[in-house]
Amino acid sequence: MSNPFKNVLANIGNLAGGAESTAVGIDIGSSAIKVVEIKKKGGRAILETYGAIALGPYADLDAGRVTNLSVEKTSEALTEVLKQSGVTVASGAFSIPVQSSLIFTIELPAQLKEGEMASIVSTEARKYIPVPITEVSLDYFILPQKEPSFEEMNANDPKIPQKNLDKTSILVVATQNDAISKYRSIISLSSLSASFFEIEIFSSIRANFEHELSPVLLVDFGASRTKLSIVEFGMVKSYHTVDRGGADISDAISRSLSIPFSEAEKMKKEFGLFGNPTEKSLVDIIKIHIDYIFSETNNVLLGYEKRYNRTISKVIFTGGGALLKGLTEMAASSFRVEIEVGHPFSKVNAPEFLDKVLLTMGPEFAVSLGLALRKLQ
């Protein structure tokens, strides 16, 4: 598995020559597959096509439901979405779901030589990984060190954690080999080849970030879970998952109002937190879940601030659930920092008449676009 951290925030506009001129990113999620094809022309990334297919119907479930499909069924859906969206390239970049991975940081002595690093990371990582080390693929990246500010250098305040310059922070990603094998089988059955695999969160960062240097929280609202990444200098400093997503909200609406899941999904998208005049309880049902996600998020932010003595400058929402009406307004009162909904398609050139559509659909395609962008670099 190739290192997913190289050039996470490489300059998108400056696409070096010699790379492939067409790239396809394929994001196989728990409720849908999304694909994006871009090409390079005159040093710019241009959108060729994109498409999505719901996986629910392949498991005899409603669209929007979380699935756990067989390799064969996933391959069938993948082949169909490529055909529908007119993707003809036989090779693609694939995301690996974050639930198949562990992401954590370890501290190592700063004076370690590059040659010693791999074996020491492997030894230290064993303490965090609940399965035999032979069952995972390890990647690691040295996190850039922030220069201490004048105030920090002159502070004797015991509440401020003093920087330990003898230590280096290493970000480690352990991915289950079984997950990679499953993806290889899907790809092979679909008569495709994989350029590389990348943990979805790194693709999402590439698609959503510009050149933010202060810590930013990226909140990815998926169907089955919400993923929280605190990113600084383009690197993941802290990562957490909240086991609640968009499908849980639709499920709760369906049960509370005794309506089919498909109708609940439609109602959620149409009204969101702005409410349905004929169904007064809709907002309360949705709010219970969002409150839970935001409360968990606040715990993560407090933990980060306590550990690093740094506050978050901005929150970026991505993923399909980021489009819930009224979500940013509710977030603004919960987090009291700038809230932004990611606009990944702003990284590529596309016909003007598509601007509005791409703006509203962008968050759903962040991972697939981020994969394609890396492939073009």
**Residue 258 included in any domain:** no
- 209 lies in which domain range? 22-251+280-376
Q: How confident is the model at residue 146 (pLDDT cuts 50, 70, 90)?
A: low
**Residue 14 included in any domain:** no
Q: How confident is the model at residue 17 (pLDDT cuts 50, 70, 90)?
A: very low
Number of independent structural domains in the chain: 1
- Residue 188 Rama label (left phi>0; alpha psi -120 to 50; beta): alpha
For the residues 8-31, what does the mean pLDDT come to? Answer: 64
**Residue 355 included in any domain:** yes
Contacts 24+ apart (CB under 8 A), 185-193: 185/71, 185/75, 186/28, 186/71, 186/74, 186/75, 186/78, 187/92, 187/94, 189/71, 189/72, 189/75, 190/75, 190/78, 190/79, 190/82, 191/90, 192/78, 192/90, 192/91, 192/92, 193/90, 193/91, 193/92
pLDDT at 336: 86
**Residue 146 included in any domain:** yes
pLDDT at 147: 54
Q: Judge contact between 37 and 23, C-beta under 8 A.
A: yes
pLDDT at 152: 46
Write out pLDDT tens, residues 39-89. Answer: 999 889 999 999 999 999 999 999 999 999 999 999 999 999 999 999 989
**Residue 285 included in any domain:** yes
CATH number, position 245: 3.30.420.40
For the residues 116-145, what does the mean pLDDT come to? Answer: 90
**Residue 16 included in any domain:** no
- Say if residue 116's pLDDT is above 70: yes
Tell me the pTM.
Answer: 0.88
For the residues 244-258, what does the mean pLDDT come to? Answer: 98
For the residues 122-140, what does the mean pLDDT come to? Answer: 93
Name the E strands within the chain. 22-28, 32-41, 44-54, 91-96, 101-109, 136-142, 167-176, 193-199, 216-221, 226-232, 235-242, 314-318, 338-341
